[in-house]
Amino acid sequence: MWNRAYQKNDVEGGARPLYPTMLEPVELRWAFIRKIYSIVAIQLLATIAVAATVVFVRPVAHFFVSSPAGLAVYIVLIIMPFITLCPLYYYHQKHPVNYLLLGVFTVSLAFAVGLTCAFTSGKVILMSVILTAVVVVALTLYTFWAARRGHDFNFLGPFLFGAVLVLMVFALIQMLFPLGKISVTIYGCLASIVFCGYIIYDTDNLIKRYSYDQYIWAAVSLYLDIINLFLALLTVFRTVDR
């Protein structure tokens, strides 16, 4: 009853509910959303800073690819985000361990992104960044607009999970039996579509389903969606540019 009265007062005061069946206080959910986007923004800035260092300080990139020690460190950095995800999921509600693990996860993934970009032309990187930014902003605004009109995107979950499995198998086949430039382009296009769907799905969960103590995991989900979309677009543009 208190939540309904609180919501009614919010609406009368000009604060509209984020979706028609919303019962919780609007101001609390908006504060939660702002917190998550603030964390994601810091993650993206850290990623840009680390990746730019790897790209523009050429000895760093060459160290990773030209020496056995650098190659070993590169392999560790590639698998580190996957290793960190397990304890991060377990401790995502435990402060300050969650922020420490989030920092390790973000920096290690940023190094991987930087090494991917280090041997890519600036034009391809710029096009990928611009298109990623445009798509993320557009899909975010669309999801908030659709949620306010009663649309629900929870049904996308099983389809997106299945699509990711297909992409993983596709990538494994491509590594074992290279299928050529066209297959890589198709893979990048499909991955772009899948992670566009994930941006909508995770944004919808952010609006409706995540509890207030799940801010770290919600931020990780959105951050991964954005990074994976960028890498998928980078794959497409890099293949076409060759």
Query: What is the tens place of the pLDDT at every residue in 9-40?
Result: 444 344 688 888 888 889 999 999 999 999 99
Q: Alpha carbon 56 to chain centroid distance?
A: 24
Give the model's pLDDT for residue 5. Answer: 45
| pLDDT for the residue numbered 7 | 44
pLDDT in tens, 65-96: 777 777 787 788 888 888 898 888 888 888 88
For residue 242, what pLDDT is reported?
A: 67
Closest CA to 154 of 109, 114, 117, 197: 197
pLDDT attached to residue 217 = 92
- Closest Cα partner for 205 from 19, 31, 3, 44? 19
User: What are 88-97's contacts with CB under 8 Å, separation 24+?
Assistant: 88/216, 88/217, 88/220, 89/217, 92/214, 92/216, 92/217, 92/220, 93/213, 93/214, 93/216
Q: What is the pTM (predicted TM-score) of this model?
A: 0.89
**Domain boundaries along the sequence of the chain:** 2-10+23-241
If one counts every other C-beta atom within 10 angstroms of the C-beta of residue 222, the result is 23
In 3D space, the residue among 26, 47, 34 whose CA is nearest the CA of residue 219 turns out to be 34
pLDDT confidence of residue 15: 67
pLDDT tens sequence across 148-199: 999 999 999 999 999 999 998 988 888 788 777 888 888 999 999 999 999 9
